[in-house]
Chains A and B, each alone.
Chain A
Amino acid sequence: MSFAQSLLESVLRIAEEKKAKRITRVVVDVGELLMLNPEQLRFCYDVITKGTIAEGSELELNIVKPVIRCTLCGREFDTPFALCDCGGVVSVEGGKDAIIKKVEMEV
């Protein structure tokens, strides 16, 4: 819910700057490791946009995968963990942020 809230605030701020009458579509990159459930985020977004100029807008969510790689042998993995079979430390980069990429609106 706090992500949806912060999303709406940011989107409304952008719309205000552009003097938009209506927001029609919002694109957000969501890091996979945030473990946000897209269906839940969409539901929260639909609820809190009611009565605002973002009501009825489409929320497009792109899940961004982290890069999980052994720092010793270079093998890549799908899920994070600490140590590779080769004994190397596994590094995890990205996949921890949620970034608004595009806002489509009617002005």
Chain B
Amino acid sequence: MHRIEVDAEISLLEENRKFAGENREFLAKHGVVAFNLMGATGSGKTLLIERTADSLGDRLKIGAILGDVAGDDDYRRVTKHGVKAKMVNTGKECHLDAHLIHHAIEEFGDVDLLFMENVGNLVCPVDFDLGEDYRIVIVSVTEGDDVVRKHPEIFRLADAIIINKVSLAEAVGSDVETMVRDARRLNAKAPVIKMDLKTGEGFEEWLEWLMDTYERARKLKG
């Protein structure tokens, strides 16, 4: 027996990149515009999908692939709002990956706009491209006003940043402007939308960004 050393150049993310590419191809072929929706548990991801479906449901067919560690609570919620949905349980994994989406995506060739609701987590989802067109990060003021700078990568790579539950800021001692400033420092491109899904604040601004972005992407996909 002897010892050998083998040189390699194998990316641990290569497998994910391959599936993400196939997902992207599928979405392009069917003219579906996809949004990877990321945020902590309780930040308002599912409610955002519900409200968006209530507003745009008569114009667009909306789909959602919902990632959660267990259960079908989100599925039951969004389908009540006319969203075509599928649950993906990730088990021990703390994020969706392109392979999990790959299994689910085939059923969504007939929707216009597809949300991929990630597992409630601001860390792990960052590194896994799902084949989406855009990334949205939603945080709430109840997570503390230092939550943005504690998770720089997810905000740096976002296409839109939503700060939710702003009407609770004073009650929980969070400074919304600090959150906005931190987000701006990390990301000069993405809109930073101050929102409160319960009162409706900022929701019009969100819809405007979503529709503009959707229409632009749709044109590019032909």
A80, chain B: closest CB distance, angstroms: 6
B58 within 8 A of A: no
Residue tally, chain A, CB below 8 Å to B: 34
Q: Is the CB of A6 within 8 A of B3?
A: no
Report A18-36 CB contacts with B as 1/0, cut-off 8 Å.
1011001000100001110
Q: Is the CB of A34 within 8 A of B15?
A: no
A96, chain B: closest CB distance, angstroms: 7
A43 within 8 A of B: no
Which residues of A lie under 8 Å from residue B5 when comparing CB positions?
Answer: 102-104
A5, chain B: closest CB distance, angstroms: 9
Q: Is the CB of B187 within 8 A of A82?
A: yes
Q: Is the CB of A3 within 8 A of B12?
A: yes
Which residues of A lie under 8 Å from residue B153 when comparing CB positions?
Answer: 33, 35, 80
Which residues of B lie under 8 Å from residue A106 when comparing CB positions?
Answer: 1-4
A47 within 8 A of B: no
Out of B11, B93, B156, which one reaches A2, CB within 8 Å?
Answer: B93
A73 within 8 A of B: no
Q: Is the CB of B152 within 8 A of A1?
A: no
Q: Is the CB of A18 within 8 A of B185?
A: no
Bound CA span A104–B152, Å: 36
B147 within 8 A of A: no
Out of B2, B4, B7, B92, which one reaches A101, CB within 8 Å?
Answer: B7
B178, chain A: closest CB distance, angstroms: 15
Which residues of B lie under 8 Å from residue A103 when comparing CB positions?
Answer: 5-6, 8
Which residues of A lie under 8 Å from residue B15 when comparing CB positions?
Answer: 6
Q: Is the CB of B97 within 8 A of A2?
A: yes
Interface CB pairs A-B, < 8 A, 28: A1-B92, A7-B12, A10-B8, A14-B8, A28-B12, A35-B126, A80-B152, A80-B156, A81-B156, A81-B185, A82-B184, A82-B185, A82-B186, A83-B185, A83-B188, A97-B11, A97-B13, A98-B11, A99-B9, A100-B10, A100-B11, A100-B12, A104-B4, A104-B6, A106-B1, A106-B2, A106-B3, A106-B4
Contacts A82-B187, A92-B156 known; list 17 others, CB within 8 Å. Answer: A3-B12, A10-B12, A14-B8, A24-B3, A80-B152, A81-B152, A81-B156, A83-B188, A97-B12, A98-B11, A98-B12, A99-B11, A102-B8, A103-B5, A103-B8, A105-B4, A106-B2
